[in-house]
Amino acid sequence: MNKETKTVLLVEDDIALNHAVTFKLGQKGIPFIATTCAEDAFQALKDNPQIDIIWLDFLLPGMNGIEFLKELRSRPEFKDKKVVICSVSGRSDDQGLWKTLGAIDYLIKSDYNINDLVDKVISYA
């Protein structure tokens, strides 16, 4: 893998979307690690320090995206990881919170087709 290639950590519990995103990342030759919950995402971060960017769904089972982001920012080894929120929710209180917690962007899934959503997230890596 060359230094230009970015590794994406996908934290998305919607199985169909998780598979669609990983398919698109694979087509583009982007290394990725796919998880469906925050707890698995933390393990992936511990095991894969090369992760460049985290695609984070807000509505997750167990620890939700907000809790994950707060915990991520509290850990010195992960506090500078780039995070893009991809959510079905466009609630303004969620959108304000992501800025406070240091996410790069808040993307509403329905505003993009899958190719554009993947490209947008990758562009931040």
User: Residue 5: which pLDDT band, with cuts at 50, 70 and 90?
Assistant: confident
Per-residue pLDDT of 58-103, as tens digits, reads 889 999 998 999 999 999 999 999 999 998 876 666 667 788 889 9
- Which H or E run contains 32? strand 32-35
For the chain, the residue count is: 125
- pLDDT-derived band at 3, boundaries 50, 70, 90: very low
Cβ-Cβ contacts under 8 Å for 10 (sequence gap 6 or more)? 18, 21, 22, 25, 32, 33, 34, 35, 55
- pLDDT score, position 95: 63
| Domains of the chain, CATH where assigned | 7-123 (3.40.50.2300)
> Which tokens hold the place of 80?
């500078």
pTM exceeds 0.85, yes or no: yes
Tokens of 48: 């894969």
3-state secondary structure of 7: strand
pLDDT of residue 100: 87
When comparing pLDDT for 42 and 58, which is higher? 42
Q: Compute the half-sphere exposure of residue 55: CA atoms within 13 Å on the CB side of its CA.
A: 31
CA distance 34 to 56: 11
